Structure 1
């Protein structure tokens, strides 16, 4: 079954791109349309951190205190009840493994928020725009609904219609961090080919992506012998993942799948599993070329 048919089956509006890392052969669907990338931007963030570490600009063992006022809510340190102290490289680990928004926010502060968009430009990702980190995204959502804090946002958000929610800037590629499926696979290809920075920096990103804890999207579509390193992105109604599948015979395939559901329901395991199935179908199409 084609990737498009698989995603149509679960009723999502999708963009897909897959490319053979070594040959450049590609398949895709609406791969050049601008889309919200949400936490997939963390790949760029951790790549910049890794490059600075290798260049000697940042000490990965530098200690960071995550305080109450730093917490943004969610997984990892973002959901801790008490202050937590850890290293910069552990911030990078939590950023990638559980998409920890607080860890990403603190890491972005350390590497420099203005540097990540410059990295995208350096890598030739001309359609990729980074307007800030998790804190900036959260602040834009607060402002758009007229809330001043998380409690107020939660109270107001629960009263909004789906139509009103979709008008928030966080859902508009022109007003939030965004890219295209093709550019995201281009970023992954550069990392896997050691062309996104020093080889040691690229290897660090590959290792961290392979440690992601979530498996229901791209990894779910592949057999155990295929190693999948990936990064999720999630917002209400948006299921996003990008990663690389590495086959035992040496084949390497970068994949990006962006799925938009008709309803703002984030818990759609059928969509997640269809994303994995579609990714596998796209890769198998490349392998048959």
Structure 2
């Protein structure tokens, strides 16, 4: 199947499944790539934790922070489904910066991430990514704001109303009355921008080698594997990734390393037109599209 035919088929599948997305797969050995609307910008949700981790580790490398330093963390007191880790703790805890990085990346712990943001502001995270020559990713707010949306204000039986608002209230320019969904106010990025970040972490770049290696390790420890992972994990591959979820948006970016030496950076950022909180079919579809793009690029 030629590239044009494949892309038409995958666009139709996404549309039939109620999804719009920004996808990009890049062969990190050759630089060849294939994508669907890779420049389309989305609120990044928890994907912002990747540049946050890199920025924190860079400041540790420079001696501005001590990775072993204990940080007092107040409990998150989360009462809604979703948040994990320290966010659900009932009592204060003391956690080292290095361990906060693990919690933020491996289980997407919001309290851990915001404790790190208190040390390195969103503006500083953005500045460091620009310093590394990575453009198109912007950190603008705390991660706790991702759990302060209309969905948390509805009774669980009415959560579809929050998703209907998310789906129907946006503007053509991607503005939105829900600030976390407005790309001018939310942390944001595109598939191309996140693949650029992944390439900088997996290949020699302006990112310090030890910093990049630790971010790769943290992404390899990701325990949230319900989206792209089933299509990329095997005995002959290593999959390292980070997910992001916000109302009707489901994202994942990662790198698959094959035993034969192949290495592909993959970004899938999606939004659904279906007003439902739980959509396993959407996750299967986004994985199938990402896998088809990778398979086509690998076969070429």
TM-score (normalizing by structure 1): 0.87
Q: Does structure 2 retain, via aligned residues, the 8 Å contact 1:22–1:252?
A: yes
State the alpha-carbon separation in 1 of the partners of residues 189 and 241 from structure 2.
17
Given that 1:236 and 1:264 are in contact with CA atoms closer than 8 Å, whether structure 2 keeps it comes out as no
Is 2:69 the counterpart of 1:62?
yes
Q: How does 1:172-191 map to 2 (within 5 A)?
A: 172-191=182-201
Partner residue in 2 for 1:220 = 230
Q: State which of 253, 262, 267 in structure 2 corresponds to 1:251.
A: 262
Unaligned runs of 5+ in 2: 170-176
**Aligned pair count?**
279
After TM superposition, list the pairs within 5 Å mapping 1:1-289 onto structure 2.
2=6, 3-4=10-11, 6-68=13-75, 74-137=83-146, 141=149, 153=153, 162-165=163-166, 166=169, 167-224=177-234, 225-289=236-300
* Cα displacement (A) at 1:136: 4.7
Q: Give the conservation status (yes or no) of the 8 Å contact 1:72–1:101.
A: no
How far apart are the structure 1 equivalents of 2:256 and 2:13? 19
Looking at structure 1, the residues matched to 293 and 137 of structure 2 have their Cα atoms a distance apart, in angstroms, of 23
Go from structure 1 to structure 2 and tell me whether the alpha carbon gap of 1:250 and 1:36 turns closer, same or farther (over 3 Å shift). same
Distance in 1 of aligned mates of 2:71 and 2:282:
37
Counterpart secondary structure, 1:256 = strand
Unaligned runs of 5+ in 1: none
- Coordinate RMSD, CA, aligned: 2.4
- State the Cα distance separating 1:205 from its structure 2 match: 0.1
Give the match's secondary structure for 2:192: helix
- Deviations 1:205-238, CA, capped at 9 Å, x for gaps: 0000000001111111124121110000001111
Query: Do the aligned partners of 1:71 and 1:102 also contact (CA within 8 Å) in 2?
Result: no
Deviations along 1:229-267, one digit per CA (max 9) or x if unpaired, are 000000111110101011111111111101211123232
* 8 A Cα contact 1:19 1:253, kept in partner: yes
TM-score, normalisation: structure 2 = 0.84
Kept in 2, the 8 Å contact 1:137–1:176? The answer is no
In 2: Cα distance, 1:229 partner to 1:37 partner: 18
Runs (4+) of structure 1 moved beyond 6 Å?
Answer: none
